[in-house]
Amino acid sequence: MAIDGIGKTPGLAPVLPRSTQTPSAGQGFGDALGNLISSVDGTTADANAAVGRMLDGSGDVHEAVIALQKADTALQLTVQIRNKIVQAYQDIMRMPV
């Protein structure tokens, strides 16, 4: 039995934000952060739509739970990135001049 790689399972997209899947060569740090935040916002909107479809009966419970988990994972990733940025800033501010 062959084992599929991450993101190759039919019907499931990778959990990573869209900005990390196709980075452009001239993209700056601020643009990357903006893309990450818009990606998280998109996954949240997708999760809300999936829950709405589940509630009105046109969607599946499994689809809604998977969408909610993707949104949660993307938000956790964003919070950890923010924490690392704040920590790096604090380390730089503590350096003697």
> Residue 43's domain spans which residues?
30-94
Inter-residue contact 78 to 37 (CB < 8 Å): yes
13 in a domain, yes or no?
A: no
> From CA 41, how far away is CA 46, in angstroms rounded?
9
Inter-residue contact 67 to 47 (CB < 8 Å): yes
15 in a domain, yes or no?
A: no
Average confidence (pLDDT) per 10 residues, the chain, 97 residues: 54 51 71 92 95 93 95 95 96 93
CA dihedral 28, 87, 15, 47 (to 10 degrees): -100
For residue 66 the two structure tokens come to 């998977």
pLDDT of residue 9: 47
17 in a domain, yes or no?
A: no
> From CA 91, how far away is CA 70, in angstroms rounded?
32
Q: What is the pTM of this model?
A: 0.66
pLDDT of residue 51: 95
What's the number of domains the chain is made of?
A: 1
40 in a domain, yes or no?
A: yes
pLDDT of residue 68: 96
